[in-house]
Amino acid sequence: MTDTKNHATGTPGSLEGRVFKPASPLEISEAVDLAFDYRGDVTLTLTSGESAIGYIFNRHVAAGDSYIEIFPADRPDPQRISYCDILTIAFTGEDTANGKSWETWVSKKESERRAEAEKVEAVARTKGYL
């Protein structure tokens, strides 16, 4: 599977900006697995020459009948696409989950709590309570 990376965009540790060109059914399956776990839109280039842009919300893997389902960016109804119709998968949408780990959230909340405590202390000092 060819993996190209557009280094002008994307975030380290994220798939954002990458383009996968699977060369076999196994590689298509691997690329779809990555796209399914991705928290952003992907752009699929299809064997018909068309492109589909959207969020992959479902996949079905079965011998001879594997497909994905996406919420297309340009229409309201979900779209089903067979694995065998996929030429490339590009991670084109913003990776909304990148950098949003539990540790990051805890650190942010702790910082907000410290700032609020400092503010309350400053008000108490101004009023002569401390």
Let me know whether 7 and 33 are in one domain.
yes
pLDDT at 13: 65
Which two tokens mark 73?
A: 């960016």
pLDDT at 116: 93
DSSP-derived 3-state class of residue 53: strand
Contacts of 40 (CB under 8 A, 6+ apart): 16, 55, 91, 92, 93, 94, 95, 96
pLDDT at 106: 76
Q: Supply the CATH number for residue 7's domain.
A: 2.30.30
Collect the ranges in the chain with pLDDT lower than 70.
Answer: 1-13, 97, 99-102, 105
pLDDT at 47: 95
What is the rounded distance in angstroms from the CA atom of residue 43 to the CA atom of residue 59?
Answer: 16
pLDDT at 5: 47
pLDDT at 1: 64
Let me know whether 57 and 120 are in one domain.
no
What is the rounded distance in angstroms from the CA atom of residue 46 to the CA atom of residue 78?
Answer: 16
Q: Which domain holds residue 41?
A: 2-90
- The 10s digit of each residue's pLDDT in 99-108 is 666 677 678 8
Split into its structural domains, the chain has a count of 2
pLDDT at 102: 65
Let me know whether 10 and 67 are in one domain.
yes
pLDDT at 87: 96
Q: Could you tell me which of 42, 40, 38 has the C-alpha nearest to residue 86?
A: 42
How large a percentage of the chain has pLDDT more than 70? 85
